[in-house]
Amino acid sequence: MLSRETPLELAHNRWSAGGAVIKETLHGCRNNDGALARYLHADLGYRTTAIDCSSAALKIAQAEQDANDGPVFQQLDIETDDSSVLPDAGYALVTCRLVFAFIKDKPAFVDRIRCLLPPGGTFWVVTPLAERLPEERKSIGITVQQVELLTAPWSSVESEALDSMCCYALRP
């Protein structure tokens, strides 16, 4: 799943701004275990900071971590905490996989991420689409109106559908 969702540009581009730092919101309990952060760090060579508001998710992801190398894991609520505590002021790439549906104030969140990106940076979002999910799972997807909230503020929007999910590459 990771390779289908990971755009080729992640593998081939090298962002110069800020030393190519990548931030991922990660989840340890169900499916990711910080795998995307480790892939970006170890396989693609990016300096990576991975955040989650859940200490349990971070604990599980860190248990998978090589003690000598790997992403920085940090507990942070991206909606309410001060992002100035992050190791870097700006990030050439911010990734957000299976998280956007759970964000309460989506426009404020998108504004916040924009402030972390330098010109030429990329916000990469993977999210299920509610309209492609069965009734009982629609709450983990985003609606057409929420897609508009996510994509409207960017000068460049690329998207690719993957079954019930969609990947977006958004640039200021």
Interface contacts to ligand SAM, rule CB under 6 A = 25-27, 31-32, 51-54, 57, 77-79, 97-99, 102
> In whole angstroms, how close is the CB of 110 to ligand SAM at the nearest point?
13
Q: Which is nearer to ligand SAM, 13 or 83 (CB)?
A: 83
> In whole angstroms, how close is the CB of 153 to ligand SAM at the nearest point?
19
Q: Which is nearer to ligand SAM, 43 or 77 (CB)?
A: 77
CA–CA distance, 132 with 37 (Å, rounded to integer): 27
Q: Which is nearer to ligand SAM, 32 or 48 (CB)?
A: 32
Residue nearest to ligand SAM (CB): 27
> In whole angstroms, how close is the CB of 98 to ligand SAM at the nearest point?
4
> In whole angstroms, how close is the CB of 84 to ligand SAM at the nearest point?
15
8 Å CB contact between 110 and 153 = yes
Q: With the C-alpha atoms ordered 48, 159, 155, 102, is the resulting torsion angle positive or negative?
A: negative
> In whole angstroms, how close is the CB of 126 to ligand SAM at the nearest point?
7
Q: How many helices (H) and strands (E) does the chain have?
A: 6, 7
**DSSP label of 117:** P
8 Å CB contact between 6 and 35 = no
**Helix spans in the chain (H):** 2-5, 8-12, 35-38, 55-63, 106-116, 144-151
- Other CB atoms within 10 Å distance of the CB of residue 20: 18
Q: Which is nearer to ligand SAM, 56 or 120 (CB)?
A: 56
Q: Which is nearer to ligand SAM, 6 or 154 (CB)?
A: 6
Place of tokens 């990469």: 124
